[in-house]
Amino acid sequence: MDPAVIGTRLASSVVAPLIKKLFVREGPGAGLVERPVRVCGLVSFRGEKRTLYGADVRRIAERLVSRSLASPGERPFPPDETAAVTDALARALLALGDLDMDDVQAVRLGHRKLARTLLHQASATGRPVTAELSADASFYLESVTEWACLHILQFFTQRSTFVAATLVAQSRGQDELIAKVDELIARSPLPGARDAAFEERYLAYVAKKHGKLTIFGIDLTDTPGKWPLDVAYMSLEATSLSSTDAEAALRPGDDWVATLKELTAARPADQALATRDRVLLRGEAGSGKTTLVQWLAVSTTRQELAEGPMAYLDDRIPYVLPLRTLTRHGERLPAPADFLAAVGCPLAGTQPGGWEGRVLTAGRALVLIDGIDEIPDAERAATRAWLTDLIDAFPGNHWLVTSRPSAVRTDWLADEGFAELTLSAMGEREVAAFIERWHAAAATGAPDEDAALAAYESQLLAAVRAKPDLGLLATNPLMCGLICALHRDRRGFLPLGRKDLYTAALSMLLVRRDRERHMTVPELREEPQLQLLQRLAYWLIRNGRTVLDRSRAEAIIADALPSVPELSALGDAHAVYTHFLHRSGLLREPGPDTVDFVHRTFQDFLGARAAVDEGDFGVLARHAADDQWADVIRMAVAQARPRERAEILRDLMAYGDTHPDQRARKRIHLLAAACLEHAAELAPAVREEVERRTAGLIPPRDAEDARALAQVGPMVLDLLPGPDGLSDEEARLVAITATHVRSDAAIPFLARFARHPSIMVGSQLMWGWHRYDCRAYAEEVIAHLDTTALHFTLRDDEQIAELERLGLFPKRLDMRVDVSPEVASRFLAACEPTFLLLAYSPAHLTPEALAALHGLDGLNVFSVSDTAEPWSLTLFPAEAPLMFLGLAGSRSSVRDLELLPRWPLLARITFQEDGPDSAADWETLARLPRLTRLHCGSHSLPHAPEGLSLPGLTELQLSPDGHWEAAMARIGTLMPGLRHLYVENRTGVGAAEARQRLDVSALPDHIDVRVYGPSKF
């Protein structure tokens, strides 16, 4: 096969970046040397400059093969030979390190002869690379190797001016051939080529459309109202499982504390789909759900992000589907062919016929469905049916659905196989980082203004740390942006409480904004503007919408103008609409002839104001079980006068008392309790009635109830019992509630639980440390925890400093990524731990720290980084009595897995989905005399050499993937002593039903197969 033929499937824009990874990155001037350079000295997987390992080269080969097969049309070889072809290509690429020639000789040889040389060299070090391949697969291997070699030679000539000058004709010929192939691709009538050309235009549009982020308050000065997403994006975290769900995922024999910590640990939200195809992401208003959708969409357009944990986005085509836009007229939700038109994409109609269907059929789509909570409850069942039909018709794609926490029930998408994640509230570090980025974005370049801005930044950072009330408000990006804007606008003075904060923000936008921007428009008082805006907001809320047509908006304005004559200075309804759209900073047009509020929070606040003005207290009560009205009701209580406030709460309680659904009744009573924090003045009898009903919900029955109870705020602390008289489980649930109350007032309450004998209670107290004042919590809570049995999760240097100050040196440590290596090293040397979970490369630790690990019986090194930084097992003491080793996410970083037999006591190893990924890995595991338990992905088992046996292995924990059948076929001979197989439940149904669906017919009868994990995994 000619390289041009393979090129029609694999353009140089795909090949070149992958080929460059095979060679070392050199500094400026490296290519100016006037002499040849040995090829083996240029590769990045050999020598001192080594940055890649065998597994990395295989991944490059895998991507070359998968991308070349992605286009429609007849496959060049049978599907069951894909793994063998990939292995053979990886061996050929690795043979670059064994070539006895320099770059000039390689270029002179030409790409075809170089390809034959590499294939021969690879075969010389073992069995022939084509030994297990059919004729078609061998033909394909030769062709794809030639195409790769053409780019390798081009890299040599572009890297070195000496090579280019020495072999002018060859260099020019390579460039011309590559250019001709790319031109052929561009002009090719093949459907795949037309699709690829359109996708290039579409991804460029996505990058531009979603590559900007609105930062609240930035547009009050001469700086841009939108900021590049790369600069403004804050890395968000999500918790994959609640405590209750994590407990369901445990299996017999697990270390509960260690496993629960791993399962419930917060991970980067943008990696949620890396190990799950379907995710329902919950988050409060302003928590960053839509920003995450933008980030994922834009990330698919970038080649450099397709490595490490973000590699799952490689070759993905994003479809951003905001439900508020798709359903604004009550239309039917779109079929794939209408995705682009439904969201107003200007490229709609220019895509090749059937393109969306081909993308979805190939499993290449990233479908981002934003805002289940922004459509009426009556339409959500139809939305779920639409989504289910899409998933059934097009399996294998990635699906993300976002929602506010209470919009849909916990298992709403469980039958469709969706995992549930919740965006975490911003902690102190995230808030500080946001404040710094906001002020950097607001800089104008004027020295005086920027100096004042720097002073405001310092003041605000100090205020957020020192003022608990302010810290309670700064929990998400929207509120942080609001606080930053108001702090600057009010010269360093801030209102307290949500109601006052929103009121001040509206005043700033409606009155101060145009003055500051020197706009020559009629000067209007604030109240008339609010009257009109709140009518728009209340119409949206009453109709269960977040978007309305321009014509409807102008009709509402026209009806209101006679009652608000002051606005007539602007002109008719059309002129008033245009003024508010362009001048208020509160309205925007998400699509042609449509309008919405810049954020749902402002809609709810203004709608609540309208409800209070109109006395619609019964309307508020009747919607108390509807999640779309929860914030409206809270803000209505905040804005009402004392008598009105009492009437609203009485109506809420009466409606809750008579509601036929028990869960709805509980939610309504909790909502009434949550309203109390906004009730500055309230009749004592009404307050007592609300508290009496809340007391009936205590202690919480499960973790979900516990977290819901915490939303009531600090007042719930006076109602919570314990620890005396509570069972261990009740004490844990009470601790969950208290650790979710974001106020230092919780510290004295939690201190009462610090000596509780249950390790699960202690673990919950340890987890909650980061939410509170570090020193006060350390002194009152942490100082009294068990330092021998409990796993201490340490998130930053400040926490370690407090432990050192108190003379606490725990034996079981969990070091997170924000702990600096210097501080971690010092603390490890002092603690000499017996268990260590480390979230970054151990190569950063000092020799003293590593030597202090001589007593480790458990070690877990997991990676949360986008890059696989190499490290060696020789860093850890050989004399350590290591019985457990975890390498989740970090197998590709370990250079020498073959050294595992240094620890002969190893009985349990967990790779999760990150290995073993080669025959050598399996041969190493076979040399561990006491290995009885292994956790890996099913794709790993086919890598084991034929004839290899691990007779001592009795328990296998599998993460299922597309290699399930191949894995089942190998278990009988590979693990003849296996007694228990635990399979992670990723089906979205209950464990019992998931077990029935498993095809285990190839397994010996004596193996006990169990499915673990929650139904919504």
* Mean pLDDT, range 875-892, rounded to an integer: 88
Confidence label for 5 from pLDDT (cuts 50, 70 and 90): very low
**Longest alpha-carbon distance in the chain:** 94
Helices (H), 659-727: 662-675, 684-695, 703-710
Task: Please write down the long-range contacts of 822-830, taking CB distance under 8 Å and 24 or more positions apart.
Answer: 822/846, 823/797, 824/800, 824/849, 825/849, 827/794, 827/800, 827/803, 828/852, 828/853, 830/804
Long-range pairs, 396-399, Cβ under 8 A, ≥24: 396/277, 396/363, 397/277, 397/360, 397/363, 397/364, 397/365, 397/366, 397/367, 398/273, 398/277, 398/278, 398/312, 398/316, 398/365, 398/366, 398/367, 399/277, 399/278, 399/279, 399/367, 399/369
Rounded to an integer, the average pLDDT of 466-484 is: 74
Task: Report the pLDDT value the prediction gives residue 643, as an integer from 0 to 100.
Answer: 95
Task: Give the CA angle between residues 818, 824, 829 to the nearest 5°.
Answer: 170
Dist CA 544 CA 603 (whole Å) = 12
pLDDT for residue 286 is more than 80:
no
pLDDT of res. 65: 85
For 318-363, how does the pLDDT look when each residue is reduced to its tens digit (9 = 90+)?
999 998 788 766 678 999 999 999 998 999 999 998 999 999 998 8
d(C-alpha 876, C-alpha 206), whole Å: 46
Euclidean distance between CA atoms 217 and 223, whole angstroms: 10
- At CB < 8 A and 24+ separation, what contacts does 313-318 make? 313/366, 314/63, 315/66, 315/67, 315/70, 315/364, 316/364, 316/365, 316/366, 316/398, 317/199, 317/202, 317/203, 317/359, 317/364, 317/365, 317/366, 318/206, 318/365, 318/366, 318/368
Strand, coil or helix: what is 816? coil
State what percent of residues in the chain have pLDDT above 90.
Answer: 33
- What stretch of H or E contains 860? strand 858-861
Q: Top-level CATH class of 199-424?
A: alpha beta
| pLDDT surpasses 80 at 891 | no
pLDDT surpassing 70 at residue 990: no
Opening angle at CA 326, ends 320 and 330, nearest 5: 165
Q: Which pLDDT value is given to residue 30? A: 44
Which tokens belong to 494? Answer: 């801030």
- Could you report the per-residue pLDDT of 69-125, keeping only the tens digit for each? 766 567 888 888 888 899 899 999 998 888 888 877 888 888 888 999 999 888 886
Cis-peptide, bond into residue 916, ω within 30° of zero: yes
The pLDDT of 541-569, averaged and rounded, is: 91
Using alpha carbons, select from 494, 427, 1010 the residue that is nearest to residue 742: 427
Confidence label for 245 from pLDDT (cuts 50, 70 and 90): very low
- Residue 426 is given by DSSP the state P
Q: What is the pLDDT of residues 294-308, one digit of tens each?
A: 889 988 887 554 455
Q: To which H or E segment does residue 910 belong? A: strand 908-910
pLDDT in tens, 375-389: 877 888 889 999 999
3-state secondary structure of 786: coil
Q: What is the pLDDT of residue 847?
A: 94
Asked if pLDDT for residue 466 goes beyond 80, the answer is: no
Residue 1011 has pLDDT above 50, yes or no: yes
Please report the pLDDT score of residue 1017 as a whole number.
24
| pLDDT of 10 above 70 | no
Question: In what helix (H) or strand (E) does residue 840 lie, and over which residues does it extend?
Answer: none
Give the pair of three-digit tokens for residue 330: 């009550």
Give the count of beta carbons closer than 10 Å to the beta carbon of residue 284: 20
What is the per-residue pLDDT across 588-638, written as a single tens digit (0 to 9) for each? 887 778 888 877 888 999 999 999 999 999 999 999 988 789 889 999 999
The larger pLDDT score, comparing residue 874 to residue 505, is at 874
Is 358:378 a contact under the CB 8 Å cutoff?
Answer: no
The tokens 């269907």 sit on which residue?
Answer: 357
Is the Cβ–Cβ distance between 888 and 860 less than 8 Å? Answer: yes
Q: Name the residue with tokens 């077990």.
A: 995
Question: Over the chain, what is the mean pLDDT?
Answer: 82
3-state secondary structure 443-493: CCCCHHHHHHHHHHHHHHHHHHHHCHHHHHHCCCHHHHHHHHHHHHHCCCC
Confidence of residue 745 (pLDDT cuts 50, 70, 90): confident
pLDDT digits (tens, 9 = 90+) for 177-220: 666 665 655 555 445 567 877 888 899 999 988 887 765 555 44
What average pLDDT score do residues 406-416 get? 78
Residue 7's pLDDT is: 44
First-to-last C-alpha distance (Å) of the chain: 45
Q: How confident is the model at residue 518 (pLDDT cuts 50, 70, 90)?
A: very low
Does residue 886 surpass a pLDDT of 60? yes
Give me the sign of the Cα torsion angle 19, 24, 26, 32: negative
Pairwise pLDDT comparison (136 vs 234), residue with the higher score: 136
Q: Is a pLDDT exceeding 90 seen at residue 542? A: yes
**Cα–Cα distance between 157 and 114 in angstroms, integer?**
15
pLDDT band at residue 472 using 50, 70 and 90 as cut-offs: low
Residue 758 has pLDDT above 80, yes or no: yes
DSSP code of residue 961: -
Our measurement of the distance from residue 163's CA atom to the centroid of its chain's CA atoms, rounded to an integer in Å, reads 45
Q: What type of residue is 910?
A: T
> Minimal CA–CA distance to 340: which of 209, 487, 476?
209
Q: Where along the chain do its domains lie? A: 3-176, 199-424, 434-494, 503-660, 813-906, 908-1016
Q: What is the pLDDT of residues 953-970, one digit of tens each?
A: 999 998 777 778 888 889
Interval 269-279 mean pLDDT: 82
Residue 37 has pLDDT above 70, yes or no: yes
Q: What is the DSSP letter of 699?
A: S
C-alpha neighbours within 13 Å on the C-beta side of residue 61: 23
- Confidence check: pLDDT of 534 > 70: yes
Would you state the pLDDT for residue 1016? 30
pLDDT of residue 763: 92
Q: Give the highest mean pLDDT range of 166-175, 555-564, 865-874.
A: 555-564
| pLDDT 10s digits, 674-703 | 898 889 899 999 999 998 888 888 888 888
Quote the pLDDT of residue 474.
Answer: 77
Q: d(Cα 441, Cα 434) in Å, to the nearest integer? A: 10
Following DSSP, what letter does each residue of 554-614 receive, concatenated?
A: HHHHHHHGGG-GGGGGG-SHHHHHHHHHHHSSSEE-SSTTEEEESSHHHHHHHHHHHHHHH
Q: Among 443-457, 471-485, 936-950, whose mean pLDDT is lowest?
A: 471-485
Residue 432 has pLDDT above 60, yes or no: yes
Mean pLDDT of 479-489: 82
The predicted structure's pLDDT at residue 243: 44
Residue 35: what pLDDT? 65
- Number of Cβ within a 10 Å radius of residue 238: 22
pLDDT at residue 254 greater than cutoff 80: no
Cα–Cα distance, 261 to 238 (Å, whole number): 14
- Is pLDDT at 974 greater than 90 in this prediction? yes
Most confident of 269-273, 314-318, 889-893, 927-931: 927-931
pLDDT tens for each residue of 112-161: 889 999 998 888 867 788 888 888 899 889 988 988 888 888 888 777 66
Mean pLDDT along residues 575-580: 88
Q: What is the pLDDT of residue 48?
A: 60
| Rg from Cα positions in the chain | 31
For the record, the structure tokens of 779 come out as 């002194």
User: Which of the two residues, 720 and 908, has the higher pLDDT score?
Assistant: 908
Q: What are the structure tokens assigned to 872, written together? A: 């060696």
List pLDDT tens digits, range 820-842: 999 999 999 999 999 999 988 89
pTM for this model (two decimals): 0.60
Q: Which residues contact 204 (CB under 8 A, 6 or more apart)?
A: 301
Query: How many C-beta atoms surround the C-beta of residue 314 within 10 A?
Result: 18
Q: Is the distance from CB of 656 to CB of 672 less than 8 angstroms? A: yes
Surface-to-core class of residue 308, CB atoms within 10 Å of its CB (0-12 exposed, 13-18 middle, 19+ buried) = middle
